[in-house]
Structure 1
Amino acid sequence: MNSSALASIDLRPPISSLVIGALSAAFFFWLAAVSFTTGKHPAATLGTTLCFVALGLMALPMVADYFFARHRLSDDAIDFGRRFGGRGTMRWADVRLVRFSPTMKWFVLEDQARTRARVSTALAGLPEFARLVLAHVPPEAIDKKTHKLLVDASLGRRPRVWL
């Protein structure tokens, strides 16, 4: 990193994502245990138990995001974390594509080697991320819709989560 005016900035999920993910997983795993142990009830079938286990597993990515999907920004690059571990670094100058995924509610950055970094709109520090992308990523790498969302995010207006 150069000795620019910007100290590194951390992007991290809010504590609420950990709480919601952990409570949801615990609730559905508890229901699965109750369903499995009270098998005499007609509604408590193996299918019901497996359904509750599946719902509990679906909550675990929120917990994983809290611990692993943390990013550090500088004037030169983004050091990014992935949902299920692993880290990477992408220099702003190497970014060849920035797009917004409306389904997943995250920005996707892709470099020359097709490495992808995903930045959720729920992360604390999103305005700083948007300002750095707008300042350092080549303009031709950002489509018009994503550019507008980044400008809004840089002003503190997050993309809408719900339709």
Structure 2
Amino acid sequence: MKKLLLAGLLSVGVLFAYNPLNGVKAQKAEAVKVVGNHFITVKTLKNWMKNNKNFEIVDVREPAEWNAGQIDYIETINLPRGVLYAGVKKGRLKPNKTYVFVCRTGHRALLAAATLYKWYDFKNVYVLKGGIKAWIKSGGLVTNAMHLGPVKIQLQK
């Protein structure tokens, strides 16, 4: 009986001690170390677009999110984070090109960029701070499957 009680208490202790968010925080902290100072602001991205800097936007959101609205830029692709490996293997992403990774808030984009830096030796990979939410909040134009051209979207509070 004592062994059963002890096993039960240990199990409960393990359950309470385990916090799945600690894994996410650690993963994000490691990704920030890997990416370093390769974060760009919406203002910088707009300047790159205006000055025709040679880069491509890689939106790592899922297809439904992508279809709802993406940054209005001709060199934008949707490559969800879960299929990055396939994008590299099939030559869709090339180590010598410059990429700006985007997602809803920046977290998935950060993890995607860190993956390319750490495992595939990409050097010109940047993460848009605040993701597409920051883009929209700044008044940046987005396009989506429902419109033929760029539109302004207001974020709901």
Query: Relative contact order, CA 8 A, sep 6+: which one is greater?
Result: 2
Q: Determine if the TM-score, normalized by the shorter chain, exceeds 0.5.
A: no
Question: Whose strand proportion is higher, 1 or 2?
Answer: 1
Task: Output the TM-score relative to the length of structure 1.
Answer: 0.31
